Amino acid sequence: MLKIGITGQAGFVGTHLYNTIGLFPNEFVRVDFKKEYFEDETKLDDFVSQCDVIVHLAAMNRHNDPQVIYDTNLGLVKRLVNSLNKTSSKAHVLFSSSTQEERDNLYGKSKKEGRELMINWAGNSEGKFTGMIIPNVFGPFGHPNYNSVVATFCHKLSHDEKPVIDVDGDLKLIYVGELVNAIISEIRSKKGKSEILIPYTSESKVSQLLALLEKFKLEYQDKGIIPSIETTFELNLFNTFRCYMDIKKHYPVKFVEHTDPRGSFVEIIRLGVGGQVSFSTTVPGITRGNHYHTRKIERFAVIKGKALIQLRRIGTDEVLDFYLDGNEPAYVDMPIWYTHNIKNVGEEVLYTNFWINEFYDPNDPDTYFENV
How many Cα atoms occupy the beta-carbon half-sphere of 89 within 13 Å?
A: 28
Tell me, what's the pLDDT at 85? Answer: 97
Q: Per-residue pLDDT for 103 more than 90?
A: no
Contact 43, 37 (CB under 8 A): yes
Q: Which letter, b or e, does each residue of 223-235 get, where b requires 16 or more Cβ atoms within 10 Å of its Cβ? A: ebebbebeeebbb
Contact 55, 96 (CB under 8 A): yes
Nearest to 50, CA basis, from 64, 67, 33: 33
Tell me, what's the pLDDT at 146? Answer: 87
Nearest to 238, CA basis, from 272, 289, 206: 272
3-state percent breakdown (helix, strand, coil) of the chain, nearest 5 = 35, 30, 35
DSSP classification of residue 88: T
Nearest to 332, CA basis, from 244, 265, 248, 258: 248
Average pLDDT, stretch 298-304?
97
DSSP three-state, residue 278? strand
Tell me, what's the pLDDT at 293? Answer: 98
Q: Per-residue pLDDT for 102 more than 80?
A: no
Element (H, E) at 78: helix 66-86
Q: Per-residue pLDDT for 18 more than 80?
A: yes
CA dist., res. 213 & res. 262, Å (int):
41
Q: Each residue of 242-283: pLDDT tens digit?
A: 999 999 999 999 999 999 899 889 999 999 999 999 999 999
CA dist., res. 213 & res. 191, Å (int):
39
CA dist., res. 104 & res. 107, Å (int):
9
Tell me, what's the pLDDT at 62? Answer: 81
The count of other CB atoms within 10 Å of the CB of residue 257 is 12
Helices (H), 100-175: 106-123, 149-158
**Residue 108 — pLDDT band, cuts 50, 70, 90?**
confident
Tell me, what's the pLDDT at 238? Answer: 98
Domain 247-369 has CATH 3.40.50.2030: no
Average pLDDT, stretch 160-183?
96
Q: Per-residue pLDDT for 105 more than 90?
A: no
Mean pLDDT of the chain: 96
In the chain, what percentage of residues exceed pLDDT 90? 93
Nearest to 345, CA basis, from 326, 331, 328, 329: 326
Q: Per-residue pLDDT for 136 more than 90?
A: yes
Q: Each residue of 208-218: pLDDT tens digit?
A: 999 999 999 99
| Domain locations in the chain as residue ranges | 2-134, 247-369
CA dist., res. 65 & res. 289, Å (int):
48
Q: Per-residue pLDDT for 295 more than 80?
A: yes
Q: Which long-range contacts (CB under 8 A, 24 or more apart) does 82-86 make?
A: 82/41, 83/41, 83/44, 83/45, 83/47, 83/48, 84/48, 84/121, 84/125, 84/127, 85/121, 85/125, 86/41, 86/45
Q: Each residue of 73-101: pLDDT tens digit?
A: 999 999 999 999 999 999 999 999 988 87
CA dist., res. 212 & res. 85, Å (int):
49
Instruction: Pick 2-134's CATH classification: 1.20.1440.230, 3.20.20.70, 3.40.50.720, 3.40.50.300.
Output: 3.40.50.720
Average pLDDT, stretch 119-147?
94
Q: Each residue of 35-64: pLDDT tens digit?
A: 999 999 999 999 999 999 999 999 998 888
Between vectors from CA 331 to CA 325 and to CA 336, what angle results, nearest 5°?
Answer: 135
Tell me, what's the pLDDT at 153? Answer: 98
Tell me, what's the pLDDT at 189? Answer: 96
40's CB contacts (< 8 A; 6+ apart) are: none
Average pLDDT, stretch 211-232?
97
